[in-house]
Chains A and B, each alone.
Chain A
Amino acid sequence: MSTLRALRRRIRSVQNTQQITKAMEMVAASKLRRAQSKALSARPYAVKISEMLGNLAGAASELDHPLFKAREVKNVALVLVTSDRGLCGAYNANLLRGAEHRLRAAPPAGSRPVVTSLVLVGKKGRDYFRRRRYPVLAAHTPLPTEASLEFARTLTQDLIARFLSGEVDRVEIMFTRFISALNRKVVVDPFLPVGAGAAESAPTSSIFEPDAESIFAELLPRYATAKLFAALADALASEHSARMIAMALRARTPAS
């Protein structure tokens, strides 16, 4: 039986929740703006370094750096970028579902089985896969609150070391690409060997100092770092936009 007192209490509780979700929406919106501008200001460098890589690949014929060479794939590392915190709608659920789908995908008939192991970034991914029996190579938490170059460098070095030692033959990144405040998409990008995705351009008559090979060797890890940094920046912007929308929906739905 609902007395007037109970009813009043209920009204206050609903109002409180609405206030909190409204506040969280506004916080997410302002974090989104920052994350978005961060993702945007990383773009000129990423575009230029990819252009330079294309130039070099076109200019020098015998560039056989180990980071550049595709080899027979037996072991794949899938880097999964999730968030540390929840209350962001289906943001993490989409990533976890995508990753599980990929882990379970049967290899095409006749081909050798490929083992896919996870490199987990973010607490949600780590917690989810800790309770399941998929191979996990490493977990990187906590996620920096803003896209951090330091974090991208460390992670890139770790992945490059695993690739060069032969532990894995291919590395892919699964993350949420930021399209707009209302739109984002889970994607899988090739990461190592470097070069999958970099367009080879027509040879230029540039002077290389000291020579194309050594510049190439310096460029590859930086290219990888820039790519990972861009993925992290996108993931963070996506997380904030997902949270903003989840909170906006919650604040506007009449509490049952």
Chain B
Amino acid sequence: MASEFKLSVLTPERTVFEGSVEYVQVPGSQGYLGVLAHHAALVTALAAGDLTLRHAGGREERMRVSGGFFEVSANRATVLADEISEGTASR
């Protein structure tokens, strides 16, 4: 079983997601980047694009982000998105 880490996806108005995931991929300003558990501390700006997260067990969820920031530190990842529109959950 892949190890998990905590992810929060926040917008100025609400918490979109909060929980444990195996993997998250975000549209960084320098290109897409994927993060697994125990990633090194990182702060980056986000471009517009798709955010993909994989729950424990392999179920994937995809959302559209319009921009913002992504931070990883101490096995916690946070997405501060300007806006999020939830896409269809894909497998």
Q: Which chain A residues have a beta carbon within 8 Å of chain B's beta carbons?
A: 38, 41-42, 44-46, 48-49, 52, 55-56, 149, 152, 204-210, 212, 214-215, 218-219, 222, 225-226, 229
Q: Which residues of chain B in 1-46 are interfacial with respect to chain A, using CB atoms and an 8 Å cutoff? A: 8, 10-15, 28-30, 40-45
Cβ contact within 8 Å between A52 and B45:
no
Cβ contact within 8 Å between A206 and B41:
yes
Cβ contact within 8 Å between B41 and A41:
no
The listed residue with most B CB atoms (<10 A of its CB), out of A45, A152, A207, A226, is: A45
Residues in A with CB closer than 8 Å to B71 are 48, 52, 206
- B45-89 near A? 1/0 per residue, CB < 8 Å: 100000000000000000000001101010000101010000000
Residues in B with CB closer than 8 Å to A225 are 12
Count B-side interface residues using an 8 Å CB cutoff: 23
Residues in A with CB closer than 8 Å to B44 are 208-210, 215
Cβ contact within 8 Å between A206 and B12:
no
Cβ contact within 8 Å between B29 and A209:
yes
Closest chain A residue to B81, Cβ basis: A45
Select one of A55, A149, A152, A222 contacting B43, CB under 8 A: A55
A-B contact pairs, 8 of them (CB 8 A): A41-B14, A48-B10, A49-B69, A52-B71, A56-B43, A152-B12, A209-B30, A210-B44
Q: Which 4 pairs, one residue from A and one from B, show the smallest C-beta to C-beta distance? A: A209-B44, A206-B41, A45-B10, A41-B14
Residues in A with CB closer than 8 Å to B8 are 44, 48
Cβ contact within 8 Å between A52 and B80:
yes
Residues in A with CB closer than 8 Å to B40 are 207
Q: Considering the chains assembled together, what is the distance between the CA atoms of A210 and B42 in angstroms?
A: 11
Rounded to whole Å, the gap between the CB of B27 and the closest CB of chain A is 12
Q: Which chain B residues have a beta carbon within 8 Å of chain A's beta carbons?
A: 8, 10-15, 28-30, 40-45, 68-69, 71, 73, 78, 80, 82
Residues in A with CB closer than 8 Å to B11 are 45
Cβ contact within 8 Å between B41 and A52:
no
Given contacts A210-B44, A218-B69, 16 further A-B contacts (CB under 8 A): A38-B13, A45-B10, A45-B11, A48-B10, A48-B78, A52-B71, A205-B41, A207-B40, A208-B42, A208-B43, A208-B44, A209-B29, A212-B43, A215-B45, A222-B69, A229-B12
Cβ contact within 8 Å between A207 and B42:
yes
Residues in B with CB closer than 8 Å to A229 are 12-13
Closest chain A residue to B18, Cβ basis: A44
Rounded to whole Å, the gap between the CB of A98 and the closest CB of chain B is 27
Cβ contact within 8 Å between B80 and A149:
no
Closest chain A residue to B15, Cβ basis: A44
Cβ contact within 8 Å between B29 and A210:
yes
Residues in B with CB closer than 8 Å to A209 are 28-30, 42-45
Closest chain B residue to A227, Cβ basis: B12
Select one of B28, B41, B82 contacting A204, CB under 8 A: B41
Closest chain B residue to A204, Cβ basis: B41
Q: Considering the chains assembled together, what is the distance between the CA atoms of A226 and B68 in angstroms?
A: 12
Residues in B with CB closer than 8 Å to A49 are 69, 80
Q: Considering the chains assembled together, what is the distance between the CA atoms of A135 and B41 in angstroms?
A: 48
Cβ contact within 8 Å between B12 and A42:
yes
Closest chain B residue to A229, Cβ basis: B12
Closest chain B residue to A38, Cβ basis: B13
